[in-house]
Amino acid sequence: MTEMRLPQELEEEAALHALGILKPEDRRGFAVRLQGESLPLRQAVTAYQTVTDALASTVAPVSPKPELRKRVVAAVAQEAGRETAQFKQVADTLALTAVPVSPRASLRERLMARIEGHTDVRLDPLKGLTFVKASEGTWQEMAPGVAAKVLFFDPVSRRATTLVRMAPGSRYAPHRHPEAEELYVLKGSCFCGGHELTAGDYHRAKADTEHHDTSSGDGCLLLVISAPQSEMLQ
């Protein structure tokens, strides 16, 4: 299609752009690339646009029956949700187990210069904003009746922001915190550090402290900010 082969990501974005189904959050960045990139990207967009225009003019639109359309849309949404969950689970696992590496000062300066000079980073107002809807993310079992969903992980500070859900009668094994842990009760109640905590209560444990009695009689939902891994004591 073009003399120079585009990276697969740009090739796919060119096709989605021509079809008019590029995600809203990607449109601005693609428009900036289209203005600033070399000729191959513009050629790819033109070629895809020509094909889609030809198809649109020769194929008669067909409206599926409401029941069929509903099933197709549901199937697509389910597949997209499954792929997103799988990707996030892999990404979270890699992030939580990766050993942080500090680059040399000279390399860090060059990387930061390239990032600051990158068009997308400079112009995209959504960069740096993270959103996790209640229906998004993957709950992973930590212990019987105890599940966690990672909302954000900062590889620099090695701090994870996590939702922890404890079922009625559940208990978390004794553990030691390598770094400080902060806990806020969103719903229900739990017993932690010798105190009963209810919705709205806050608890902080310093680094190297231990929790021996974390449990919930009626179930609870907690917001926890801590290091991603604790040392289990049993």
Q: d(Cα 18, Cα 53) in Å, to the nearest integer? A: 9
- Tell me 193's DSSP state: T
Assess whether pLDDT exceeds 80 at residue 77: no
**Structure-token match 């696992």, residue found:** 93
This model's pTM is above 0.75? no
pLDDT in tens, 186-205: 999 999 988 999 999 999 99
Assess whether pLDDT exceeds 50 at residue 95: yes
Taken in order of first residue, the domains within the chain and their CATH numbers are 8-58 (no CATH), 140-232 (2.60.120.10)
Regarding predicted confidence, which is higher, 211 or 12?
A: 211
pLDDT in tens, 27-55: 777 777 776 656 777 788 788 778 777 77
Beta strands in the chain (DSSP E): 140-143, 146-154, 159-166, 170-172, 175-176, 181-192, 195-198, 202-205, 210-211, 214-216, 220-226, 231-232
pLDDT class for 11, splitting at 50, 70, 90? Answer: confident
pLDDT in tens, 109-143: 666 666 555 433 344 445 678 888 888 888 988 88
